[in-house]
Amino acid sequence: MLDRIGRLIAAFLQAPVTDCAGATPFPFDALLHALRPCDVILIEGNTRISSPIKYLTQSTWSHSALYVGQHRDLRHAIIEADLEQGVIIAAIEKYKDVHIRICRPSGLNPRDQARIIRFAAERVGNGYDLQNIFDLIRYLVPLPVPRRFRRRMISLGSGDPTRAICSTLIAQAFQHVGYPILPRIETHDPRRSRWGNEAEIMHIRHHSLFVPRDFDLSPFFEIVKPPLRPDFDFHDVEWSSARDGAETACP
């Protein structure tokens, strides 16, 4: 019964709240050309559930997906934890009309890339952590929440290993090969170090504590934008007259 109620709520939360699209500012074909396997795709989103996620994480991003490239008949496939369908493989074209960002892990070799993708692919068919929906529903009303509590609110969930939410699935996949995202770094006093120099030890954060913006903030992920054409000259840009009026911004 709770599962059925959760799915009904999920369908409600997935509905768009505005017709204002935040499309990517560069051609989508250029974005597809720039993508590489294991890139993390961040999505802004304009659904009912996007607003509380963006509020709690204090960021633009409400969803994330793992790019895997060619998969069967899909040329540009992603793996994501969908609110209604659970962990699925889908075409990235579903996000053609929203604002997205590419975050690329540095220094991954082909073997590690394959292990990360395989880890995520093995979880296709797992359900979405519907407990997370009930946790989020309490925050649909915009109440002031102290900053130190926001991350915990977004990462409550049930802890069921057969269920996932978008960012925790990707965090688990990268942690599977020991790749850092936003570790807690402990610096030792060089005066007390055995080797006489400063040493840093990274402590792994639990995967349930990761949110989409962490891949944006991580120093271990490069922000990738499609390159401008070689002959680009800003002098050739045609600007509209100020009298034409400004476009209406998304709220």
What is the DSSP annotation of 165-217? -HHHHHHHHHHTTT--SSPEEEEPPGGG-TTSS--EEEEPPPGGG--THHHHH
Give yes or no for a contact between 57 and 141, defined as CB atoms under 8 angstroms apart.
Answer: no
As a whole-number percent, the residues of the chain with pLDDT over 70 amount to 57
**Percent of the chain beyond pLDDT 90?**
35
Burial 178-195 (b: 16+ CB within 10 A, else e): ebbbbeeeeeeeeeeeee
Answer yes or no: is pLDDT of 202 > 70: no
Q: What is the pLDDT of residues 100-110, one digit of tens each?
A: 999 999 999 99
Lowest mean pLDDT among 7-11, 31-35, 107-111, 159-163: 159-163
In the structure encoding, which two tokens stand for residue 241, read together?
């007259």
Lowest mean pLDDT among 47-61, 115-129, 191-205, 237-251: 191-205
Higher pLDDT, 171 or 193: 171
**What is the edge-to-edge ordering of all strands in the sheet holding 221-224?**
86-91, 74-82, 63-71, 40-43, 100-105, 221-224
- CA–CA separation, 51 vs 57, rounded Å? 10
The pLDDT value given to residue 227: 83
Element (H, E) at 91: strand 86-91
Contacts of 78 (CB under 8 A, 6+ apart): 41, 65, 66, 67, 68, 89, 90, 91, 92
- Amino acid (1-letter code) at residue 111: R
Q: Of 34-38, 55-59, 164-168, 234-238, which gets the smallest average pLDDT?
A: 55-59
d(CA 65, CA 82): 9
**Amino acid, res. 219:** P
Q: How far apart are alpha carbons 164 and 29 in whole angstroms?
A: 30
Mean pLDDT of the chain: 76
Asked if residue 226 lies in contact with residue 32, where contact means CB atoms within 8 angstroms, the answer is no
Q: What CA–CA distance (Å, rounded) separates 128 from 132? A: 8
What's the pLDDT score for residue 251?
Answer: 46
- What pLDDT is recorded for position 228? 79
CA distance linking residue 63 with residue 165, whole number of Å: 9
Task: Please report the pLDDT score of residue 145 as a whole number.
Answer: 58
Q: Partners of 28 in the beta sheet?
A: none
Judge whether residue 91 has pLDDT over 80. Answer: yes
